[in-house]
Structure 1
Amino acid sequence: MQNNDSGSPLLDGLVQAAAGDRQFVTALARGLEVLRCFSTQTRLLSNGELAARTGLAKSTVSRLTHTLVQLGYLKADEASGRYRVTPAVLALGHAALANVTVREIARPLMQDLAEYAQALVSLATRERLNMIYLENCRPRSLVTLKVSTGMQLPLATTSIGRAFLCALPVAERDFLLEQIRRRDPQGWPLLAEGVAQAEEQYRAHGYCTSLGDWNRETHAVAVPLFCPDYDLLALSVSGPAYALTRERIDKDLGPRLVYLARSIEAAAGQS
């Protein structure tokens, strides 16, 4: 689910989606936008906080949260009075993951690479202006980055987001980059430079990196992955900067990750 801490209000998007469409149910869209505000990073939210994130009136949000509580998708936290999502939402998420059959093919291959690299190997797809993890494999003998399925990362500063952007059609990539520019105009020059460097890397090597751009102490390399049941995904290897040096990525892990992606694509196509 979307974490809108740094995003613009979503009401304009709802209005645009509904314009001229008699079949569009605005109340349903608003309820879903409320649910999207919760994430693994943002677990408790009040009506006021939800209103700020969605751009909806607080009175509207109050009615939506009341309805979602009655349906069993939200529950009020007794200590703070804020809302949290319930396992009913988790059931919807697992139903969605079940449709990504490539996870079953990729998981053992990802685990092998995680053990070899002693790093985290992840599979993700795009969720608006973020990437959302669909699968994570960790080496059994090492505690790595604390991430979980459903966690979201920004598109422009992570290797997995950059790999996804690099594989998109130009028009779609430009549209997303324009949305990122509007969201963070002050930080845009640095973001644009990182994306441009990633595009050069991708053209030259088939992978792209993020060396401390998202997290100063984290290095990562990623490649896009094209699959029959999910048009575009991305694979990454990430870990401490001291372990995943630029030299190790260029000489070893980057090429291995490209080979892994092609192997998964071939297996998914055959299945």
Structure 2
Amino acid sequence: MPADDLPQDKQFASTLANGLELLQCFKPGEPLLGNREFVARTGLDKATVSRLCFTLTALGYLRHDIKLGKYRLGAAVLSMGYPLLASMILRQVARPLMNELASEVGGTVGIGIRDRAEMVYMDTARSEEGDAPLIDIGASMPLIATAIGRAWLTRADPIERESALNQIKVRYPKLFAEHARRLPQTMREMASRGYCTNPGYFQPDRLAVAVPMSRLVNSEIVVFNCTVPAARAATPDTQQRVGLRLVTLVRSVEVALGLR
């Protein structure tokens, strides 16, 4: 069922969904949030937010800072995510290859899966210093504005892609208006080259390359990406080399997992 239709389904537990949505309000650089921020970011009323915060705190998913009157994520959130990461054999198989490519190109290599309108990193390998963005496990980026996200869209079936685009349009209307028109070009690029490119999301002077796996892993579309400083990818030949190296990495992972 498309995600857009879920709230209307009789089996959909709205209270549970609201609690999870509240936990999603936290972002890097914002470890503390109060009821006012929760209300603004979820659209829920104050009474509902108050009840959810109380319940989530009692269960260990939030911790209440009494002095500041705000909440931070609790250890239960980390514990909940660990079984997922631990069960992903893909990470163990890909890690040496990711380290090798990151060192070779002097950049960052990552693996991402979709979370509604965003791509979430399940692992990264980094071989660069300076002011390069630090992308770590759990970091998320808008799906429509990034190479890793648009690579996911090219791999999704039409129904899943349409559902994702509808969620993006609601959550990131400005980014959707700016980037959605580039999707047909990305699909052509993927079809002809096997990879797609895009300026870096945090730093437009960087080059980002992305390749989706050809088969689902644990029912997920998995995408690998590689970002490098523009100085190392100034020519089309260099861009092609990075793109083809990433394609080779992904195919090697697929062979190691028995997907080819």
With normalisation by structure 1, the TM-score equals: 0.85
Structure 1 contact 157–194 (Cα < 8 Å) conserved:
no
Partner of 1:130: 118
What is the Cα deviation at residue 173 of structure 1? 1.3
The residue identity in structure 2 corresponding to 1:111 is N
Distance change in 2, residues 1:243/1:72 (3 Å): same
Which runs of no fewer than 5 residues in structure 2 stay unpaired? none
2:161 is aligned with what amino acid?
Answer: R
Counterpart contact for 2:210–2:243, Cα < 8 Å: yes
Structural mapping, 1:130-169, within 5 Å = 130-139=118-127, 144-169=132-157
Aligned to 2:183: 195
In the TM superposition, what is the alpha-carbon distance from 1:56 to its structure 2 partner? 1.2
1:17 corresponds to 2:6: yes
Tell me, yes or no, if the aligned pair for 1:156 and 1:191 is still in contact at 8 Å: yes
**How far apart, CA to CA, are the structure 2 residues paired with 1:242 and 1:67?**
50
1:231-250 matches, within 5 Å, as 231-245=220-234, 247-250=236-239
Using a 3 Å threshold, how does the CA distance of structure 1 residues 181 and 246 change in structure 2: closer, same or farther? Answer: farther
* 1:50 is the counterpart of 2:43: no
Match of 1:88 in 2: 76
Displacement after TM superposition at 1:68 (Å): 1.2
> Alpha-carbon deviation of 1:108?
0.9
Determine which of 119, 124, 130 is the counterpart of 2:107.
119
Q: Any idea what SS the aligned residue of 2:232 has?
A: coil
What amino acid sits opposite 1:194 in the alignment? R
Conserved in 1, the CA contact under 8 Å of 2:232 and 2:238?
no
Task: Tell me whether 78-87 or 160-169 shows the greater mean CA deviation.
Answer: 78-87
| Post-superposition offset of 1:50 | 0.9
Q: Aligned runs of 1:49-68 on 2, under 5 Å?
A: 49-68=37-56
Residue type of the partner of 1:51? V
The one-letter code matched in structure 2 to 1:71 is L
Greater mean alpha carbon deviation, residues 183-192 or residues 24-33:
183-192
Q: CA deviation at 1:133?
A: 0.4
Indicate the residue corresponding to 2:17 in structure 1: 29
Report what 2:203 is aligned to. Answer: 215
Residue 40 of structure 1 and its aligned partner are, at CA, apart by 2.9
**What is the Cα-based RMSD across aligned positions, in Å?**
2.6
CA contact (8 A) 2:200 2:227 kept: no
Structure 1 CA distance for aligned equivalents of residues 230 and 19 of structure 2: 41
From the superposition, tell whether residues 180 and 255 of structure 1 become closer, same or farther in structure 2 (CA, over 3 Å): same
Structure 2 counterpart of 1:8: none
Aligned length: 258
1:109 and 1:63 mapped to 2: Cα distance?
A: 47
TM-score, reference length from structure 2: 0.88
Give CA-to-partner distance per residue, 1:135-165, whole Å, 9 cap, x none. Answer: 0001277774211100100111111111111
Residue 260 (str. 1) matches residue 249 (str. 2):
yes
Rounded Cα–Cα distance in structure 2 between residues aligned with 1:15 and 1:127: 14
Identity of aligned residues (%): 37
Question: How far does residue 218 in structure 1 lie from its aligned partner after superposition?
Answer: 2.4
**SS of residue in 2 equivalent to 1:150:** coil
User: Which segments of 5 or more consecutive residues in structure 1 lack a partner in the other structure?
Assistant: 1-12
